[in-house]
A and B are shown apart, each in its own frame.
Chain A
């Protein structure tokens, strides 16, 4: 099956620093990837759509200058949390879509737990 990886799986940083999270599709290409944020015991909230070769599309209320997204290649998207603060602490998950047998499915990375001190 399709595999999506994320790195790092967890990160602890000091307030004011920037953190980069990588999302890779390991065995397929993805011109689009999605970034979600999940708070404890809650559902996934879409933050932005990452587009290879063009600017990301952000959901309403998500600060584009705070959460920088770069889709550098057909297999890699990065999310950089700039000047992180404790309220940015959360679980971040990426997904990549794949069409198999004429049907579409989204495959998810294992997530990254960010803790900002």
Chain B
């Protein structure tokens, strides 16, 4: 079984600053995906970024980037130039890459991020 741990229940950052959210996971799988999802007050889950475990290069999406350390089983999210709209709950998630696309997600407990003006 997989476990995902987010050790920071809450974080805050000033607008325009940079913040890093931590995530560690435990698995015996070698082929998998890691995700960061954002859940704003509307509660709609929004995909922020995805990382395939076989890729050594860290994924980036505009202001969002990850630091993927496979050996350490660490997957942190860096948000640059933080904006007020980044205020949300952020979930780290793990998904096995086995067979088809229909594999479940295992979520961490979440980090509540507040961006202050």
Contact = CB atoms under 8 A, between A and B. Distances in A.
Interface of A: 30-32, 34, 38, 41-44, 46, 49, 91, 93, 95, 97-99, 103-108, 110-111
Interface in B74-117: 91, 93, 95, 97, 100-105, 107-110, 112
Contacts of B91: 43-44
Query: Chain B contact residues (Cβ within 8 angstroms of A): what range?
Result: 20 to 34
Given A30-B102, A110-B44, A111-B43, 17 more contacts: A31-B100, A31-B102, A32-B100, A32-B101, A42-B109, A42-B110, A43-B108, A95-B45, A99-B100, A99-B101, A103-B52, A104-B33, A104-B97, A104-B103, A106-B35, A106-B105, A110-B42
A44 B93 CA distance: 10
B33 A103 contact: yes
B44 A108 contact: yes
Contacts, number: 65
A49 B104 contact: yes
Interface in B10-63: 33, 35, 37, 42-47, 50, 52
A63 to B, nearest CB: 19
A111 B109 CA distance: 18
Interface of B: 33, 35, 37, 42-47, 50, 52, 91, 93, 95, 97, 100-105, 107-110, 112
B104 A34 contact: yes
Nearest to B37: A108
B80 to A, nearest CB: 23
18 contacts: A32-B100, A32-B101, A38-B43, A41-B112, A93-B43, A93-B45, A95-B45, A98-B101, A99-B100, A99-B101, A104-B97, A104-B103, A105-B35, A105-B47, A106-B35, A108-B44, A108-B46, A111-B43
Nearest to B33: A104
Contact of A43 (B52, B103, B107): B107
Given A99-B100, A106-B95, A110-B44, A34 B52 contact: no
